[in-house]
Every structure is written in structure tokens, then in C-alpha cells.
Structure 1
Amino acid sequence: MPTLWEKIRRIVGDYARANKAALKHVARCVAVIVLLATALEVFVFNINYFTSAGYNTIDLTSKLDLQQTHDGEKTQYRLTEVDHVIEFSNLNTEVRNIRLDFDFAQPAQALQVKIQFTDQAHHTYFDSTEYTVGVPETTVSTFVDQSEYINLNTTGLVDNLRIEIVGDNVQYPILLDGITVNAHHPFDFNVTRYLIALGILALVCVFRPKSSIYRCFIVEQPRRSKAIIIGTVVIEVYLMATFLFFGSNLVGVATQSYNFGAWDGTSIVNTFEVGGDNAQQYAELAKAMAKGQLYLDEEPPQWLQDMDDPYDKGARDEAQKVTGEPYLFDVAYHDGRYYVYFGVVPVLLFYLPFYLLTGANFPTAIGVLIACIAFVLGCSALLDRFARYHFKRVSLGLYLLLQIPLVFCCGVLYLLKFPTFYSLPIMLGLAFSVWGLYFWMRGRASGSPCKWYLAGSLCMALVAGCRPQLLALSLLAFPLFWRLFITKRHLLTPRGAREFACLVAPYLVVAAGLMWYNYARFGSPTNFGANYNLTVNDMTKRGFSFGRLAPAFFTYFLQPPSITGVFPFIQAAPFETTYMGQTIKEVTFGGILACLPILWILPFSKRILKMRIAQRSTRTIAGVIIVLISAGVLVALLDAQMAGILQRYYADFSFMFLAAAVLLAFIVNENLDQGSTKRNVLMKVLIALVSISLVYSLLVCFVPETGWYSDVYPWAYQSVIETAQFWT
């Protein structure tokens, strides 16, 4: 009797023999990709190593006129607050680069360095003028060796050279081991950059227009397509988790090798608070609920309780200055108590059980990651459901080409960049929404739909306890169920009545619970407490203003991205408005219609929907697309009216537009013959649009922002810049 290992060998051997040609092709592709990635890393990304190989290195350390310290036989030079300028005269030599060799053992920091020189084109030091730009300041990290090599573009021989440490947040003294010009740049095989190059080349190979992945149809080859889809989802989840944990200052978990400064020294993993007092609202609410109360334990200061209008931020700030007593910001204040106005479902799902079990605060970032994983899984399953049961000619290549931007371009990456309690309700609301829609779709095709309807409606109803704006996705029930329950009068049958009850009952139960929760706190079943928020404006008097709609529509949808020539190339978009009132605005990076070219299919919606309607007697898909687009516009404008214009709010509505664009692309694909010129053009255009959309979404993730990794650990973030800007 053959052993298990022998059976496996036989199965693998049979598969290899049956697919010999295909496996040879894959092996050749892998070999080419590896060779290209290796060549890029060695010869392109290490260009400075080759260009500096012939430099005549000059050590200027002996000419340094700085304080000296001696550590055994090693001499170090001290840059201090008084003496932080290095100047050399009469060099009379070519200077191609400078190496500032900072002591690696000193406290790490990112230093802003200003370099000036005189050469054959400049007999005096020069700076920026009205018509020219001088030598820009550059960042050197004492922690990142590659940043210590600074390339200069001089003309002829350099005579004088001046190096100054500038900036206000410098920790002196700074220890310098030496300084050289025309240094030989070391060879640096960057594994991260190499793997990124491998991944990009692999994507180019897989999604090239003539790839066999476009000849593998989901309906015809279900097992193979499902296996590849699952593998893709695993990779996506891994990349998202890696990015979240990269921003370690916001994660809130520590081990011996991760966030070790907050490690307790004994546990395998321990949690700790991140983000300041304002970020602990959910954790504090869990503690309060454990004691049977719905308000936070912290007592508001007496001056806040005595104020006629505690929601006026200017008046609060003045009172705080006078008394010296702080107050909690961005919480709901009502009747002398602090409350949390954010959705309560994350507390019941994560924080309260975790606190009851461990006595510790649940790490918010882990909740965001769990919700993100659930969203990716649900989104992929939902899209597979549409592709497999509502379209006949969706290839695996088209599915993946559209699934990737649906997942990565909908604002989720920005929520992972800032995995705070602000992001958790949005992320969880999205996860519940896609799973709710998936269960509804399963129920529509099931012989026993009640359990699917119950599960779907429960998920959709729980969105109200996370992010009420996302309840707009519940409007999809109309195109999904109208024909069955209304047109066919299924609702009037006993079975139809039971099924309809399963659709409605979860909404009623969840609504009853939330209404009780609201009434117990604020005396109103419909008041979630957002209008009692102690924030930058008086929410009790915010009201509705048509003047806010135009700037919000432009910012959320139409504003082009602001681009520079320095990594990460995207920067905050400017904001101007003629609205003569207070606008709540944080940094944003452009409107989705301008920055996500995959959405450029939306203006053709009417024409594409006519194609679908001409093909099918039912209007389900057309109705779904119309509701998605309408709901997306509605949610975006409601966000602007209720709260303002913020980058994380893009996640409230971007998914709706992306989902509509995906379904429209499916319709167009359905109407084109396999191998036709029009279809080939469509695939090439889609590849280009998706690529640009992905690049934009990924670059936004690395824009330096207050509170993120780049702000807290700028000396470490410099390694990311050096990895990308290999030519500097």
C-alpha cells in the first residue's frame, strides 16, 4: 500500500506530465522576472555605486574646527547649538558628493542639512531668488547610512564649501565621526526594494494583454479560478497587515522585537495605549459598561458644567486657560457627563469582551486590521458572486484586474495608515456592508433563503451601530428584491411573507437596541450624540448650508492631485473656498474622479446600462449600479454637511463608485467578443487606468503626516525615502 508521501508524489508527477508545456512557460517567466529584478537592483538602483567608483576621495576630517571627544583611539567631533556650521575654504577640487559620517550609536534623529558652495559658476554662496532655486535643504538620518551620502551638482572646481545643521527640533550635541568628499558610495542590495521590483514585474507579466489569465473564465473553470482568487486575497491581506504594522507608533501592541520600548519584559505580547487620552474613548466606554453605566468615568470640570454654551470651542479654550483644568476633546457632552458618540458596535464586539477577559484595553489597530481582513474577504466573495452568477464571460484576469483596485483604492489603505478609533467604525461598517450584500446575494439564489436573509440583514443593520452613513448601501435591497417581492407578488404568499420578515426583522431588532441606547443617554431614540460633540465647531448649531456643497463636491470628486518631483510625489491638495463661513477641513489629496482613472468609466454609465437592459429582461444589475452611484454622491455630501471634508471620509463613498465601475466594466466585457480588437483595446485601457489608480492610492499611504510614522520616527522614515529615491 503506497504511503501518503508516495501518493502526493504520484499526484504531482501526473499533474506535471499533463501540464508540462505550461509549467515550462511559467518557469521561463519566473526566471526572466528574477533576472530582471536582480539586474534592476544591481545596476539601476545601485547606480551611485558605479558612478562613484572612480571618484578621488578626499578626507576632510582633519580640517574640522569643532569640539573633539575621544573614545579610546576614536576621535569624534561635536556639533552643538552654538557651533553647528562646518566650513572649508580653498578646496580647489571637484566635489561630486559629500559623506557626513555621523556616529551610529548616538540617539537617532533626522537632521535638516543646508549645503552651500562656490564653484566656477558661483563665486559667492547662492540661495533661492525670485527666478532661481538654490541648493535645497536635505534630510540626513543618523540612523540610515545611505542618507549620509549627498550628491552635489557643481560646476568645475569647488573652492568653498559650507555645511549647516538647520531646524528648530535638533537634539544637540551631534557626534560626527568624519567628513569626506567624493566618497565611494557603498553597494546596497536592498531586499525590500528587490521584492517590490519582483512583485511589480510579476504583476506586469500576469496582467499583460496577451496573458493566459484572460482565457481562464470563472464560470468555465471554477476550481482553478477560486484557487487563484484565494491566493490573491492571501497576498492582499499580508500586504495590508504589513503596512499597518509598519506604522508601529499607532499599533498599540508590543513584543520583545516589536515596539520593544513598550514591552513589559515578560509577556509574549502586551498592549499599551497609543494616540493620547482622546484615543481611549472606546476603551473607557468598555470600562464604564462593565460597571453598568453608559457615560465615561471621567468627571467634566466644573467650569464646563457651568458654561451657558459648552459647545463653543473658543469659549471652552478661554475657560480652560483661566482655570487650568483640561477637558476631553471630541467626546459627546450632555447633562454634565461625557459620552462616546461613535458607533457602539465596535465596543460590544471588541473592547468590552477583551476588557472583561484581560482587564486591558483592546488595541484599536488590531480591530481595524480584523475589520479590514473581513472587508477584503467579503468584497472578494461578493464580486465573485456577481461575476459567477450574473455574467457569463468574466475571465479570471478581468476579475483580478478589477478586484485589486476595488480593495486598494476605496480608502481602506488610509484607514490602515491611521488605525485609530476614528477609522475603526468606518472599516467595520464597510466589512459588515460587503458581507451583508454577499449573504443577500446568496439568499436570492438559494432554495432556503431565510438564513441568508437573516445573516445579510443583521450585517447591514449593524452598520447603523458603526457608521450610520453606510446605511445608504441598504438601499441596494430595492433593486435586489423589488422584482421578487413586488413585481412577482412573492410578498403576498406565506413563504414570501416569511422571507420578507427575515429581511426586515434584524433591522427592527438592531434599531430597537440602538434607540434604547440613544434614549438612555440623551433622552431621544434618534439622537446618536454627534451634535453634542466637543469639537472644533458648535455641532448643535451647524445646520444645513447649501454653500458647503460646492467646495465639498469639488474636493471629494473633481480636485486634481498635487504632485511634486520628490518622493512620495503626492502632497496635500490646496483648498480655497468662497463659502463665507466656517469649513471643517483636514488635508486631502485630490478628488476620486480625478485621481482614480478607473472611475472614468462612470460618465458612460447611461450608454452602458442601455446595453445591459437590451440584453436582459431584468433590471437588477442596472438598478444596483444606479443606487451605488446615487448613494455615493449622497453620502459624500452628507459627510460634508454633518462633519466636514476629511481624507478618511473618502472610505465612506469611494467603494460605492468603484463597485459601480466594476459592474459597468463587466457589462462592457460581456458585449465584446473574445479576441476582438475592441476587447483587446478595452483590456489595455483598463490595465492603464487600474495601474494609475493603484499608484496614486499607494503613494498617498506614504505621504508624511502629523501623527504617523514619518512624524514620530522621521529618522527611520528616511530609509523609506532612500529606498525610493535611489538616485540621490
Structure 2
Amino acid sequence: MAWASFLDSNLAGNEHSEPHKGNKTSVWERCMRSAGIRFFVLALLIIFSLELTLFNLGSWLSPSSAQQQTCTFTSSCSFSAHNLQISSRSGQPRVLVKDVDSSLSIPVRANTRIRTLEFAPVSETKTSEATSSTQNDASAPNTSADTTTPQAPASNFFTRVTIGSQQITLRADRPTFAFLNEETSDAIALEGAVTVRFVEGSSTRVNLASVTLNAHKPLRINLLRVCVLLLIAGFLWAMRPRSRVHSIKLNSQSRAQRLAFWACFGVPLIVLGIIVVAIAGVFVGTDQWWDRGNYIYSYHHYILVAQSLLEGHAWLNIPVDPIFDALSNPYNPQLRNTALAQGASIYWDYAFYNHHWYSYFGMLPSALIYIPFHLLTGRWPSIMAVVIPLLMLTVLLLCGIVVRLLERYFPHTTVGTAIIAMTTVFIGTNIISLIVVTNLYIMAFASGLCISSLGVFIWMKVSPDSSARSNMWRMILGSLCIALSTSCRPTFIFIAILVAPVFLELVWKKPLRTVLGATAVNIAAAFAGLAPALWYNWWRFGSITDFGAAYQITVADMRHLHVPALSLLQGVSIYLFRPLEASANPPFVEAPFVSTATWIHHESIIGGFFIFAPLVLLSLFSLMFREVRSRLHKNFVWLYCVLGVVIGLFLCVFVTRSGGIAWRYFVDFSWAFVFASLPAFSAVMDYAASVRDTWRGKLVYSTVSIIALYQILILLASIMVPNRFASFTQYAPAVYSSVVDALTILG
């Protein structure tokens, strides 16, 4: 907001900038003449007013401190426990749930109505996220970073309890405050006691030191909430119709614009990545989990592939259990369950073929990252140490692609258009799902999207105005990188459609010899990039087109999996148009239950692609207007729209049929729709700039800004959805707890 205020203060004109001679003005008066500073002061006043009233409503409505009744388990508090073991260690109580039917009953003073409760945790559990993050239970194994540090189970951080018909989730890092509804208060008055029932299973340790009845919630300013609201206000100010960012021409050669990009986005992104990797750990730890009669979970696929490459064989160094090997069809889940009951050791989500274990993931990360890292350090990197740098580089490359594409086809594009376009690309490509779920499955997406983005970034410098030699080397390197993505995740080979308009522009109306020469160069580079994947397929499975996904040991027999047309159609519609599902609890959206006519693999997703990225859909719809289409005729830019939609739909169908429904699978096809919409969006903003001072221009700018803000808020909310796959409640419970605290009004 300060940057936008500075720009606007220079735009506002000079009618107030030169005071009358001899008339001194104070610093305050000069500052208040700036519209940006006036807006900042007003926003600050409004936000702090909301902070003291709305966001502290619980403090105003809770009972006074004089009505409090605190029961501390280490004192002489009168309480009764059923199937609970309460002991003391170092002066701190320990509450252990011994059975599923466990409860704690605290007597209530006569003629006292209980309206609020506060559950205070054991003080020593207010630790950093590193000691509270959870990965140890089999349902959510630790697939990230170093696991050498002992970690507490998830139930230590979040504990569900019920009081009457009301459910409350206790948190280990801070007191949990709850308003009781009328029904619960009446039940307590009738019973004469507050009965807390524990929902967790037996042998669960609960971080609970005391319970306060009729607790008073203190008034508190949440700095995280204040900062977020200020950022939202700043975004709206910077993107308003009259903002200068809509009049500054995008210029990648401008030192000021480059400095602003790196200062405001690039450097903070890199620093954040370094901090995350440093906290998570650079080197890998142990990662096997299993229960007796269950699968073995080990997520060292890329390490095992690297070891097999170094040893000169395709199969992995994993023992094959003879009971499992003797099965007539090891891919049949029912037969595998029989073998598990007999004590067989079966590895989950590996490919089993011809009496050996394999990984069905691509080998490029192992060859280019894991092996060099191991040769240099003698150890193996953690997933986080590889994925986070790849994702940071991918984000920067995508921003570079957006800038080069806009400057190439829309030379009058403004900084404001570029900012919203970058935001939409970041949200639409769903990279956030990779950043917040950094486990084994993300490696293929991160590496594939990174190297294919590098190829497109290089291709975007190919131009008829450049020398033939420089164009040739750019085409070779770009095509090679795009083709190498098949050794990471094959679907990213289709990102080659983004260079088709560039290639056509280069060879259009050129001699046949030039066309054939350029085509041959690209085909040769593409074959060179495809060669590692094709060779690795042949080495493992005897066919250059067999990537091994059919042999994976997973929830179904992938060799005979058939998705009916109706379920396929339902899956595609869920991917694209599934509406958001509201929740009464922060972050106020949740992952809806997914169901289809017949079974297909599905995980929780937040909503359809066009629901959390509506700017993409509206941009594509804008192609119905002649004013938009007329701006897409030159240099084959219209091909982005056509090819993007076609390939996006094709990949969406393919992913649904082969993999089912999962949040991370959005990345396979979402990029196609995003880049299909980018020229249309730029054309709309180009039109808005031509009528900027009219109501049409102001309407376009205002609508786009509001939708962009909506996309950002939905993006942030989706990160914190508690019931999605690999949520922050598992990976970063302290972060989740802080966000919930910032979004809570009454509790």
C-alpha cells in the first residue's frame, strides 16, 4: 500500500504541492494532501475499530471476571473423572484417555448459569511447530524432511471433546475459548455439572491443565489479522480504476520495475523457501510405517531409484515377500489382503513387475538432483530440500513467461494487468497445492512443471527480430527442456502448445527450406529430451510407452480399471465446476464429499477449477465479444485460446480416467486453461485502458480487482481447510491454530 500511495502521490497533481509564498505548512498537512496517505489512515482507523468491536465481540459478550470458576487438576479442585488417568509431572497435570467412553465432570455452583468455558493447555506444550507437527500415525505418514526429531502424535495438538450436543476442539498451543449455546447451558444447569466427554480413542494424552467456567475472554489485538486486513486494503487501493499501475507500461528492461519485482516478490519468495528448508531439514530421515497385517509405507522412491541407477539395475532394492510373489494376481486388492493376513510384507504404492519392485515415477529428479547431491554430500536430500527450491523456481519462471508473453503480444500492457495476470497464473495453475503438501507425490509435479516452464521461458525469447543462430539455440534448449518433462510427469509434454504460436510466427511466409530446417531442429531436440524416459521405460518394462502406472500396488487393480462414461463425466464436472461448501468454522469453507455414480479414486478437493479461478472462465467468455476477438488476430495469439481449451479438456478427461479426483491433479490440466485465458484477459484489459475514463472502463477495472481479491482469499482459505488431503492440521498445526485464532470472532 505504501508503494501505491507513493505512486498516487506523484500522480495527484501539483495543485497543492506548492504553498503560497510565506505560508508555512506542517508535515501533517503536507502528508494529508496525499490521497494514498489519507486512505491508509482511514483504513487503519476502520481496521482498528473492527478489531476493538467485531473481532473482540467475545470479550464484550463474555461474563465478567468475577463470575469465573477455575478448576486446576493439580489443586484441590472438585471433579470426577471416568476412564481418565490424571497425574502430575514436574508440577504439570497429565490427562490420559484410557477408553473411548471417557469423561470429566466439574460441579457447578448453585444458581450459576454457565455461558462460556476456557480450556487451558499444559504450559510446556506451548512449543514451536517443529515439536508439534504431526506425521507419526499411519493415516498421515511423515513424508517431508527430516524425521530424526521426536514428534508428538496429532491428538496431542488437537483434541475433540463434546459438552452436551456441542463439539469443541482443544488446541495445545493456546487456551481454547468456547461460548455455550442455550441448549448446552440448560443441560448443565439441570445436571449441576459440566461434563466434558472425550471423543479421541484410548491411550490419547490430552494437553489440559485447567478448565474455567464462565471464563472472561480478554480483549486482544491480533496483529496477524490487522496485517492481513491492511494488505487487503492495500491491494484494493493499488488495483482501483484510477490507480497509476493501470497507466504504467510494462517494461521488463526497466531497472525500476525489475527492482520492484525482486524487492516485493522475488527476494521474499527465495528467503521464505530458504527458511522453510532450513526448518524442515536438508537431509532425509527414516520413513517406514506399518502395522501388523497392513502395508509398508515408504516414500523414498526417488532415493531408491537413484541407488538403482548407481548400481546399474532398473529394479529397486526392496525385498520381495514370497507369499506376495506367489499370488496369482498381486494387483488384486482382495488377494493382497489375504496375503497381509498371513504376514506378508507388501509395499504400498510401488510398481510390482516380473518379481521385482519398481517406482512408476520418472527418473529425472533422481538422475539430476538426488545422485549429484549424494555424490557431493554422501547423504540423501529430504523431499522438502528438493521440492521447495523447484517450486520457488517454477513460480519465478511462470512470472517470467507471463511478462514475456504480454510484452510480445500486447506491447501496451500495464503493470496492473501484469500483476493480476501473474496472480491468476499462480492461483490457476494450483501451485499452492504443491507448496502446502510437500510429500513424495508432489515431486513429479514440481519437477515436471519446473523444467517444462523453463523450456517455455526460453522459447518466449525466440523472435523474427533475433538472429537465426540465437533462435536456433533457444529452440533447441526450449524443446529439450519441455521434452525432458516426460521423465518427470508425462502430462507436461503438452505444455509444448504454448510455443506453437511462437514457432508459427517465426516460420510464417518463410522459404520452405527455412521451415523444414526449423522443424527438424525442434524434432531432434524433442527426441533427445524424450530419449531418457523412453529408454527407462524399456529398461524396466520392455516397452518404450509403458510408464508402469498399471503395475502400482494401490487401492485398485490398475490393469483392469475401467471408468464408466457417466462417472467420467461427473469427475470432469467436479474438477471444473464443483461449488464451494461453506462452513461455520474458520476458514469458513471445507472440502465437500465427492461421490460419483460408480467408484473412482477420489480425495477431498476444495472446489472446481473455475470456481476458485473465475477470472479464467470470465476471460474465456469474453471471447464472445468482437472488441476482444479483434485484438487477438495478429501473430497467431488466438491459438493460445483454442489449443489451451482443447488440451485442457483432454487432460482433464485423461486425468479423471487414469487417476481419479485429487487436488494435486489440477496441476496436470489447469495450466492449459490459464494460458488459454491469458490473451483474452489481456485483450479485455487493453479495451478497458482505451475507455478508462468511462463507466465501462471503471466497471472492468473494479470487477477484475474484486474477482482477483476473491481468488486470493479463496486460495488462502483453501490452504487452511482442515478436512482436505494432507491438511495443515497434520503438517503445520501451530500455523493452522494461529490462523483459526485470527479468524475467530466469538470463540
How far did 1:170 drift?
5.8
Match of 1:338 among 316, 333, 357: 357
Shift in alpha-carbon separation, 1:172–1:342, aligned structure 2, 3 A: closer
Q: Are 1:112 and 2:160 an aligned pair? A: yes
Q: Are 1:100 and 2:119 an aligned pair? A: yes
Partner of 1:446 in structure 2?
A: 466
Unaligned runs of 5+ in 2: 1-9, 18-29, 126-151, 290-296
Partner of 1:215 in structure 2?
A: 247
Partner of 1:462 in structure 2?
A: 484
Distance 2:703 2:314 in 1: 54
Normalising by the residue count of structure 1, what TM-score does the alignment of the two structures yield? 0.83
Match of 1:138 among 152, 164, 168: 168
Checking the alignment, whether the CA contact within 8 Å between 1:548 and 1:641 is kept in structure 2 is no
Q: Are 1:601 and 2:618 an aligned pair? A: yes
Query: Secondary structure, in 3 states, of the residue corresponding to 1:689?
Result: helix
For 1:65, give the aligned amino acid.
F
Partner of 2:231 in structure 1?
A: 199
Distance 1:418 1:651 in 2: 13
Aligned positions of 1:417-436 closer than 5 A: 417-436=436-455
Per-residue CA deviations over 1:115-174 (Å, capped at 9, x if unaligned) read: 24xxxxxxxxxxxxxxxxx4x2111224312x1x22234499973342313213365675
For 2:711, give the aligned amino acid.
S
Distance 1:71 1:275 in 2: 32
How far did 1:431 drift?
2.0
Aligned positions of 1:353-372 closer than 5 A: 353-372=372-391
Per-residue CA deviations over 1:651-689 (Å, capped at 9, x if unaligned) read: 111122122223211112223423232121111111122
Partner of 2:129 in structure 1?
A: none
Query: Secondary structure, in 3 states, of the residue corresponding to 1:163?
Result: strand
Distance 1:712 1:390 in 2: 42
Q: Are 1:285 and 2:301 an aligned pair? A: no
Shift in alpha-carbon separation, 1:220–1:226, aligned structure 2, 3 A: closer
Shift in alpha-carbon separation, 1:713–1:162, aligned structure 2, 3 A: farther
Shift in alpha-carbon separation, 1:224–1:294, aligned structure 2, 3 A: same
* Aligned residues with identical type, % of pairs: 21
Match of 2:605 among 588, 592, 604: 588
Shift in alpha-carbon separation, 1:395–1:273, aligned structure 2, 3 A: farther
Partner of 2:430 in structure 1?
A: 411
Match of 1:675 among 672, 685, 693: 693
Aligned positions of 1:308-707 closer than 5 A: 308-322=328-342, 324-444=343-463, 445-447=465-467, 448-485=470-507, 487-493=508-514, 496-542=515-561, 545-579=564-598, 582-604=599-621, 606-608=623-625, 610-611=626-627, 614-615=630-631, 618-672=634-688, 673=690, 674-704=692-722, 705=724, 707=726
Shifted more, 690-699 versus 212-221: the winner is: 212-221
Distance 2:335 2:562 in 1: 20
Query: Secondary structure, in 3 states, of the residue corresponding to 2:634?
Result: coil
Partner of 1:130 in structure 2?
A: none
Unaligned runs of 5+ in 1: 1-14, 117-133, 246-252, 264-268
For 1:691, give the aligned amino acid.
L
For 2:168, give the aligned amino acid.
T
For 1:336, give the aligned amino acid.
H
Query: Secondary structure, in 3 states, of the residue corresponding to 1:453?
Result: helix
For 1:340, give the aligned amino acid.
S
For 1:457, give the aligned amino acid.
S
Q: Are 1:45 and 2:55 an aligned pair? A: yes
Checking the alignment, whether the CA contact within 8 Å between 1:442 and 1:452 is kept in structure 2 is yes
How far did 1:567 drift?
1.3
Partner of 1:123 in structure 2?
A: none
Match of 2:178 among 137, 141, 150: 150
Shifted more, 162-171 versus 74-83: the winner is: 74-83
Checking the alignment, whether the CA contact within 8 Å between 1:144 and 1:716 is kept in structure 2 is no
Shifted more, 327-336 versus 425-434: the winner is: 425-434
Checking the alignment, whether the CA contact within 8 Å between 1:113 and 1:165 is kept in structure 2 is yes
Partner of 2:217 in structure 1?
A: 185
Shifted more, 334-343 versus 30-39: the winner is: 30-39
Query: Secondary structure, in 3 states, of the residue corresponding to 1:693?
Result: helix
Shift in alpha-carbon separation, 1:615–1:170, aligned structure 2, 3 A: same
Match of 1:168 among 200, 213, 216: 200
Shift in alpha-carbon separation, 1:232–1:360, aligned structure 2, 3 A: same
Shift in alpha-carbon separation, 1:315–1:187, aligned structure 2, 3 A: same
Distance 1:239 1:58 in 2: 46
Partner of 1:56 in structure 2?
A: 66
Distance 2:740 2:590 in 1: 15
Shift in alpha-carbon separation, 1:36–1:455, aligned structure 2, 3 A: farther
Shift in alpha-carbon separation, 1:506–1:232, aligned structure 2, 3 A: farther
Q: Are 1:65 and 2:79 an aligned pair? A: yes
Shifted more, 399-408 versus 169-178: the winner is: 169-178
Shift in alpha-carbon separation, 1:42–1:696, aligned structure 2, 3 A: same
For 1:151, give the aligned amino acid.
F
How far did 1:234 drift?
2.2
Query: Secondary structure, in 3 states, of the residue corresponding to 1:574?
Result: coil
Shift in alpha-carbon separation, 1:306–1:571, aligned structure 2, 3 A: same
Distance 1:112 1:236 in 2: 37
Shift in alpha-carbon separation, 1:360–1:193, aligned structure 2, 3 A: farther
Distance 1:614 1:172 in 2: 66
Query: Secondary structure, in 3 states, of the residue corresponding to 1:383?
Result: helix
Shifted more, 336-345 versus 38-47: the winner is: 38-47
Distance 2:369 2:443 in 1: 11
Query: Secondary structure, in 3 states, of the residue corresponding to 2:637?
Result: helix
Shift in alpha-carbon separation, 1:715–1:420, aligned structure 2, 3 A: closer
How far did 1:95 drift?
3.3
Match of 1:234 among 241, 266, 270: 266
Per-residue CA deviations over 1:218-242 (Å, capped at 9, x if unaligned) read: 1599444443333443277269749
How far did 1:181 drift?
2.9
CA RMSD of aligned residues (A): 3.4
Aligned residues: 666
Normalising by the residue count of structure 2, what TM-score does the alignment of the two structures yield? 0.81
Checking the alignment, whether the CA contact within 8 Å between 2:103 and 2:197 is kept in structure 1 is yes
Per-residue CA deviations over 1:68-88 (Å, capped at 9, x if unaligned) read: 86789x796967648732142
Per-residue CA deviations over 1:468-493 (Å, capped at 9, x if unaligned) read: 112122133433323533x4144413
Checking the alignment, whether the CA contact within 8 Å between 2:240 and 2:701 is kept in structure 1 is no
